[in-house]
Structure 1
Amino acid sequence: MSDASFDTSANKVGSAQPQDAEFSHFFALLKPRVMSLVVFTALVGLLAAPVSVHPIVGFTAILFIAIGGGASGALNMWWDADIDRIMKRTKGRPIPAGLITEGEAFGFGIALAGISVIMLGLATNLVAAGLLAFTIFFYVVIYSMWLKRWTPQNIVIGGAAGAFPPMIGWAAATGSVSIESVLMFALIFMWTPPHFWALALFMKSDYDEAGVPMLTSTHGRRVTRNHILVYTILLVPVSFALAFTSIGGPAYLIAAVLLNALFLRGAWRIWRRDEVAADADGYATEKTVFKHSLYYLFGLFVAILIDACLRSYDLLGAGPFGVSGL
């Protein structure tokens, strides 16, 4: 990787000269698409926990977990402004587009990070607040500032940042960490590499031009295809392990069987490909697998939520095994 990828001489704070910033520009800093996944998985973690949470407390917890996730996104955009200006996928973001200065993004992110951690701690407990603080630190410092530009294993290790939300949601409800929350973390952690490497295969030039040491750039696309298959195979037992915990159930088990079969099929199809075939169809298979990987994670967490609702329904005595059915 060239030294240019580490160039921070453009004054990380306040180098751009944008128009007057609007609310929509600041909202875009939060990475709303990524935040939606953070909110959803955190909500599932909170609702699947074996502890009843008052709706207002639950809403407050999810709100500040979302704000913490948004703070991470804003600080990531502040730090990555130099490479965001190069990559086609990111050049429309608020800072490279000249809509917000780097200084504004930094101040906004820091403020949101502090508010989210303090308020989550006041609304729930210190365990949840501590996990949120560590998640923000991990994403901004460990992943964005260090791993992303240093090692092709950036996504493997850095994926931990996106895997913490269900654990935070669980901790907000219970005040603790358990095997269930650890396995939800492990599910997202193992899912992230094949999901992101599928994207890297068809966004191949972006990372090369920005000097980001993505696996596709440092080891080639054949090695990346091998890694996608291996990590998808390793993901399967992790996903099935959740079925045999207190938050597992019939909905999750059925979803795990179907979704793992589809994901494995997609990984196998990617593994069999060569670059001639991929170029010929515009990386259609890789794009399809990337899209289906989103459905995979969403489907499994929906299944956890369904099983949680079924247990709640049954415990209230309204289900087929409840008191009223005796």
Structure 2
Amino acid sequence: MPAARRDVVVAGASAGGVEALRALVRTLPADFPASVLVTMHLSPGSRSALAMILDRSGPLPATVAAHGAPLRPGVVYVAPPDRHLLTDGDSVILTRGPTENGHRPAINATFRSAAVTAGPRTVGVILSGTLDDGSAGLRAIVERGGLAVVQDPADALYAGMPESALAAVDAEYVLPASELGATLDKLVRVPLEPADAPPPTASLLLEDRIARDGVRLGAAVPGSDLPPSGYTCPDCQGSLLQVDETGQYRCRIGHAWSAEALLGAHDTEFQRALWTALRSLDEKAGLAGRLRHDSRRRNHHLLESRHDTTAKECAAAAETLRKFLLSLTPEPEASL
């Protein structure tokens, strides 16, 4: 019986990830003996060209993952928009489980799935991106005996995800994207030493089950023993429960958030509220100006003065708010 090898590679990327993924697949050999699953943040309604780009970037065939497709060595499977990419033994499954950190597909969902089904046969790769999606999943892979590989933050276009991953785990390899392929090729060819892999924890199994089954389970976080966080879910406005001490949260529908992603989502919500306030101020200033003109035309001087004050106050407040909003730098979004 042949010795087991690391035959499942899962890679996650976000902003700046196309360049990193192209560099990775470019250096994988044509006889690469492991399956590669790629999850990149995509907008739900988008049409992704990522599989075509990766197919042209290196010798391995790359394809959009199809539900139930067998996992084959030397093939790159790319998560489609609005579906979590998971493994189920020797096949690929796609689900519409709850979003994680505001994303579906989510890197954590793919990584946790591989940690549960492949355990020590898994190599997790974190590439360029903002915030920290993938860190919790990479930690699950390491805890199950798998390996962690991280793009050097200095080499990444956006260092947030690599830096968060390195804060979460002790990665065996931290390399520029151009060196990842050769390193992965060595890792997947080395026979695994016989060892008892730690079994999946109850928490890991629950998190993976939520991604697989979604809200068909009813309340996705069963247990009043989980402490309430005092925060609300940006996706559904439900109460968030604290899943663990590392700052991971889920609502009862199943939406998952890390503390960093939750902060970013609330920042977006805050900015949206401010833009709404700015629009209201602009409209109020315009309406007050019109009423001021009508009052002047009818010689209603008291009303004219009142509307003039309102128009000036709203215009001044709007200008201050506009300058503040324009000074904010939006987070980059991944494409393709």
TM-score bracket relative to the smaller structure: under 0.3
Normalized against structure 1, the TM-score is what? 0.27
- TM norm structure 2: 0.26
Which protein has the bigger helix share?
A: 1
The higher radius of gyration belongs to 2
Give the structure with the larger strand fraction: 2
